[in-house]
């Protein structure tokens, strides 16, 4: 097709919208003749005077594509948290399934090199009440979750869809439940008065896992709530705003910074023996078992503790 024919075709397409039905019919016939066998029409005279003449600037770079489509479309800005193609796959370690051990994986995520993206949409608050104790150090012991107020018999609900992995009683947690969620997180609900689910049971977000209580090592009715990934606790405040009980963002990003707190926990710490201290009392105050205290300090359960002695507990 010659340059002259291309120019005519382009002008006809650029003219656009036209209300005279008869003229439209002639225009369509003219275009078909231009395209047929590469011959321009000889008998039909087109009245270009009816249309506003385009300028050179308007014709420069004009193509059929940008006539038919907006050459400068407005593309909405996608929020950073949505700029991904897939969520991270479940880790292969989740082939391990234990109905007794909270952390059967034995994996430290301190200094992890990967970035994990987890879908936290569909979150349902286990308890809509206020925080009574936050994440972090409590004097010598680290609090790996967050405590939410409950009254005796309040329903404690599941955070996301998942499968119940543990239902049992523990000296510290009292009656507690661990759920592995479909998104890769695990949640732990402790100090329950009653457990309302069974091991290996499928459960939906918002369904009851138990009733609020004061069992185990507890000083009042509350729910101890933990969020974990591969057994490693995550600061709940990184996921949920506990004033509104909504997730901060629909995508949770886990990286080395998420677990940097463990470097502080793993530092060597000592307990200074005071009057009345025993290994049992030190174990209770530090959250470290008597057997571990003995192993760390090369002593036995019958060792006499002298006032002022340093007892390592981390």
For 222-271, write each residue's pLDDT tens digit.
999 999 999 999 999 999 999 999 999 999 999 999 999 988 877 778 88
Q: Does the pLDDT value for residue 286 go beyond 90?
A: no
Confidence of residue 273 (pLDDT cuts 50, 70, 90): very high
User: Exposed, middle or buried by CB within 10 Å (0-12, 13-18, 19+), for 301?
Assistant: exposed
User: Mean pLDDT of all residues in the chain?
Assistant: 81
pLDDT > 90 fraction of the chain, expressed in percent and rounded:
54
Residue 59 has what pLDDT?
47
Least confident of 25-34, 101-110, 231-240, 269-278: 25-34
Residue 284 has what pLDDT?
87
* Higher pLDDT pick, 166 / 93: 166
Task: Decide whether 92-264 matches 268-312 in CATH topology.
Answer: no
Phi, psi of 253 (to 5 degrees): -105, 120
Task: State mean pLDDT over 37-63.
Answer: 49
Task: State mean pLDDT over 212-225.
Answer: 94
CATH of 268-312, one of 3.30.70.20, 3.30.70.270, 3.10.350.10, 3.40.50.620: 3.10.350.10
HEC assignment per residue over the chain: CCHHHHHHHHHHHHHCCCCCHHHHHHHHHHHHHHHCCCCCCCCCCCCHHHCCCCCHHHHCCCCHHHHHCCCCCCCCCCCHHHCCCCCCCCCHHHHCCCCCCCCCCCCCCCCCCCCEEEECCCCCCCCCCCEEECCEEECCEEECCEEEECCCCCEEECCCCEEEEEEEEECCCEEEEEEEECCCCEEEEEEECEECCCCCCEECCCCEEEECCCCCCCCCCEEEEEEEECCEEECHHHCEECCCCEECCCEEEECHHHHCHHHHHCCCCEEECCCCCCHHHHHHHHCCCHHHHHHHHCCCCCCCCCCCCEEECC
Select from 116, 85, 102 the least CA-distant residue to 257: 116
Q: At what angle do helices 21-35 and 3-15 cross, to 10 degrees?
A: 150
Q: Does the pLDDT value for residue 140 go beyond 90?
A: no
Q: Does the pLDDT value for residue 91 go beyond 90?
A: no
* Residue whose structure tokens are 């608050």: 125
The rounded radius of gyration (Å) of the Cα atoms in the chain is: 35
- Tell the CATH superfamily of the 92-264 domain: Glucose Permease (Domain IIA) (2.70.70.10)
Query: Cα dist. 170→149, 287, 306 in Å?
Result: 20, 14, 32
Residue 7 has what pLDDT?
54
Q: How many residues does the chain have?
A: 314
pLDDT > 70 fraction of the chain, expressed in percent and rounded:
72
Confidence of residue 89 (pLDDT cuts 50, 70, 90): confident
Confidence of residue 74 (pLDDT cuts 50, 70, 90): low
Contacts of 32 (CB under 8 A, 6+ apart): none
Residue 278 has what pLDDT?
92
Task: State mean pLDDT over 163-176.
Answer: 96
Q: Where are the domains of the chain?
A: 3-68, 92-264, 268-312
Task: State mean pLDDT over 282-290.
Answer: 87
pTM flag (> 0.75): no
Task: State mean pLDDT over 270-297.
Answer: 90
Distance between CA 263 and CA 313 in Å, rounded? 15
Distance between CA 149 and CA 212 in Å, rounded? 9
Residue 124 has what pLDDT?
97
Please give the structure tokens belonging to residue 12. Answer: 């006809």
Please state, as a whole number, how many other Cβ atoms lie within 10 Å of the Cβ of residue 150.
Answer: 25
Residue 314 has what pLDDT?
80
């Amino acid at each position: 097709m010659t340059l002259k024919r291309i120019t005519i075709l382009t002008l006809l397409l650029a003219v656009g919208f036209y209300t005279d039905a008869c003229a439209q019919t002639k225009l369509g016939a003219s275009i078909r003749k231009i395209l047929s066998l590469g011959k321009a029409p000889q008998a039909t005279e087109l009245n270009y005077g009816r249309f506003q003449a385009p300028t050179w600037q308007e014709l420069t770079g004009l193509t059929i594509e940008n006539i038919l489509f907006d050459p400068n479309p407005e593309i909405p800005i996608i929020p950073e948290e949505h700029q991904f193609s897939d969520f991270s796959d479940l880790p292969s370690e989740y082939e391990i399934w234990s109905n007794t051990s909270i952390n059967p994986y034995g994996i430290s995520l301190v200094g992890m090199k990967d970035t994990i993206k987890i879908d936290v949409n569909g979150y349902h608050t286990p308890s809509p009440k206020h925080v009574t104790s936050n994440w972090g150090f409590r004097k010598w012991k680290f609090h790996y979750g967050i405590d939410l107020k409950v009254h005796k018999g309040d329903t404690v609900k599941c955070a996301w869809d998942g499968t119940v992995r543990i239902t049992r009683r523990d000296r510290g947690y009292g009656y507690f439940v661990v759920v592995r969620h479909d998104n890769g997180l695990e949640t732990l609900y402790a100090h329950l008065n009653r457990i309302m689910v069974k091991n290996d049971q499928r459960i939906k977000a918002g369904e009851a896992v138990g009733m609020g209580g004061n069992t185990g090592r507890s000083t009042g009715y509350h729910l101890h709530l933990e969020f974990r990934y591969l057994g490693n606790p995550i600061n709940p405040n990184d996921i949920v705003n506990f004033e509104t009980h909504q997730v901060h963002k629909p995508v949770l990003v886990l990286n080395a910074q998420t677990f940097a707190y463990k470097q502080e926990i793993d530092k060597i710490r000592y307990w200074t023996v005071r009057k009345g201290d025993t290994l049992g009392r030190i174990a209770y105050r530090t959250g470290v078992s008597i057997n571990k205290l003995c192993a760390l300090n090369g002593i036995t359960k019958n060792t006499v503790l002298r006032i002022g002695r340093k007892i390592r507990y981390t």
